[in-house]
Amino acid sequence: MMLIGVIADDFTGASDIANTLAKGVAPEGGLRTAQFPGIPTAAVSPEIEAGVISLKSRSAPVKEAVSESLDALKWLLDQGCQQIIFKYCSTFDSTPAGNIGPVADALADALNVSGVVVCPAFPGTGRTIYQGHLFVGDVLLNESGMQNHPLTPMTDPDIRRCLGRQTHHDVAHVALATVAQGGAPLRSAFEQETSRYVVADAVSDADLLRLGEALSSAKLITGGSGIALGLPRNMIRAGAKGAASGVLTNVTGPEAILAGSCSGATRGQVDQHALDHPTLAIDVEAVMRGEMGEETLVAFYDAHMGQAPLAYSSGTPDAVRAVQQKFGREAVAARLDRLFAETARQLVQKGYQRIVVAGGETSGAVAQAIAETLGAPAMVVGAEIDPGVPVLTLGNDTPVALALKSGNFGAPDFFVKALRAMEGQV
């Protein structure tokens, strides 16, 4: 029976938390976890103990994001979930109008809960919260490059203020000193809280494990994937079977890499990959004028099969702003999503079996297109490539291996590492 249900606001975040739940911590390990591209229409296999629904609600209109999240909640509750996690990015990507606050409000109302933890911390990738402020490495969020995000620029590192602009409910804070006590003092801090939300400090995995233990009976939890670190242990100690994680895949078919993220990390990874692999820079203006389409990308991949070819639309913040101002932000995003989705669909139809994707919106478009093409909605979580990014597989006879990478995640050589992991070379 499914015990933990996750509503993720994008596909890379869904992979991230699915990896966390499947891996767990020693000695207990993780839960048998499946990731779903969108809300399933049928009941889940009884062997699945944690289910992650991948939505594209991070940048959707608020009403749409709320409606989809409530539909996902209903399906998860119907599967027997005892605990719901609303998973958003570890950089709290949202605008003053939403979507984190409105979705959290709707879920909390539906579950009739208060004292809901808010913790996007993920120390393994450098995201920490101290005194309610979100850090990326050793700098505040608004100095990390996220202030230049093309869709959700983050200009305030105070999570209390960020969330406070998105909800009419009170936002409280549990400081690191309380979190460090763990046990009864920390549990009591949440149980006695009358505010709707509580931002919790966390600067290490040990803090996340303390939070996980204190939240063992919480009906609703919100945060980045790190907040799920200790939750499988709670369930296994309570009788869940659990399962070994990190199962290696063995997919060796043709490969393609698609990068739609404009983050500094992804741009660096593209530059590193281009040193000894074929790359294609997508001319976004040409795409918007109808002069460049999926046939160009597919021809590029076919011409360089076996060489780890990479096509990318990643650009500098100034270049991205210029294109958005000329054609409109939403129009550019939608057209690139269609380009990457249709390219992926055609590649899978031609027999490509290893697909690496960078960027949340790009990953969502690609994963949905591939799932629809294969008719295989459940994605099996495999070995971890880099922190927060597992190998996912779809299909049975000729499986397709996917890696869905958030823009800021991964080592400089991530793309090559991902393709090797798909072949079982982790």
Provide the pLDDT for residue 408.
Answer: 83
Provide the pLDDT for residue 263.
Answer: 85
- Max CA pair span of the chain: 63
Question: ∠ CA 47-229-168 to the nearest 5 degrees?
Answer: 105
- Buried b / exposed e across 198-214, counting CB within 10 Å, b at 16+? bbbbbbbbebbbbbbbb
Q: Under DSSP, is residue 53 helix (H, G, I), strand (E, B) or coil?
A: strand
Bridge-based pairing state of the strands 220-223 and 255-259: unpaired
- Residue 329 pLDDT > 60, yes or no? yes
Provide the pLDDT for residue 241.
Answer: 83
Reported as a pLDDT band with limits 50, 70 and 90, residue 269 is: very high
Provide the pLDDT for residue 290.
Answer: 95
Provide the pLDDT for residue 208.
Answer: 98
- Residue 410 pLDDT > 80, yes or no? yes
Provide the pLDDT for residue 267.
Answer: 94
Q: What is the share, in percent, of the chain residues with pLDDT greater than 90?
A: 74
pTM: 0.84
The H or E element containing residue 382 is strand 379-386
User: In angstroms, what CA-CA distances link 256 with 55, 280, 307, 313, 337?
Assistant: 23, 12, 9, 14, 16
CATH 3.40.50.10840 fits 4-237, yes or no: yes
Provide the pLDDT for residue 397.
Answer: 79
Provide the pLDDT for residue 96.
Answer: 87
Question: Cα–Cα distance between 61 and 63 in angstroms, integer?
Answer: 6
Average pLDDT value for residue range 411-421: 96
What is the tens place of the pLDDT at every residue in 91-136? 999 888 889 999 999 999 999 999 999 999 999 889 999 999 999 9
**Region of poorest pLDDT, from 140-144, 206-210, 217-221, 418-422:** 140-144
What is the tens place of the pLDDT at every residue in 224-236? 999 999 999 999 9
What is the tens place of the pLDDT at every residue in 2-55? 999 999 998 888 999 999 999 999 888 999 999 999 999 889 888 899 999 999
- Residue 70 pLDDT > 80, yes or no? yes
Structure tokens at 199: 């931002």
Provide the pLDDT for residue 227.
Answer: 97
Question: Cα–Cα distance between 343 and 6 in angstroms, integer?
Answer: 29
- Residue 244 pLDDT > 60, yes or no? no
Question: Cα–Cα distance between 178 and 199 in angstroms, integer?
Answer: 12
Average pLDDT value for residue range 262-286: 94
Same fold, 4-237 and 255-422: no
Provide the pLDDT for residue 240.
Answer: 86
Do the beta carbons of residue 173 and residue 160 sit within 8 Å?
yes
- Please give the residue that has the higher pLDDT: either 308 or 34: 308
Provide the pLDDT for residue 246.
Answer: 59
Reported as a pLDDT band with limits 50, 70 and 90, residue 323 is: very high
Q: Under DSSP, is residue 190 helix (H, G, I), strand (E, B) or coil?
A: helix
Structure tokens at 39: 């809300």
Its CATH class, for the domain covering 255-422, is alpha beta
> Across all residues in the chain, what is the average pLDDT?
93
Q: Under DSSP, is residue 256 helix (H, G, I), strand (E, B) or coil?
A: strand
What is the tens place of the pLDDT at every residue in 287-299? 999 999 999 999 9
Q: What is the share, in percent, of the chain residues with pLDDT greater than 70?
A: 98
Question: Cα–Cα distance between 50 and 245 in angstroms, integer?
Answer: 13
Sequence ranges of the domains in the chain: 4-237, 255-422
Provide the pLDDT for residue 295.
Answer: 97
Do the beta carbons of residue 2 and residue 44 sit within 8 Å?
yes
Provide the pLDDT for residue 245.
Answer: 57
What is the tens place of the pLDDT at every residue in 337-388? 999 999 999 999 999 999 999 998 899 899 999 999 998 778 888 889 998 8
- Residue 215 pLDDT > 60, yes or no? yes
Do the beta carbons of residue 131 and residue 415 sit within 8 Å?
no
CA dihedral 364, 55, 236, 233 (to 10 degrees): 80
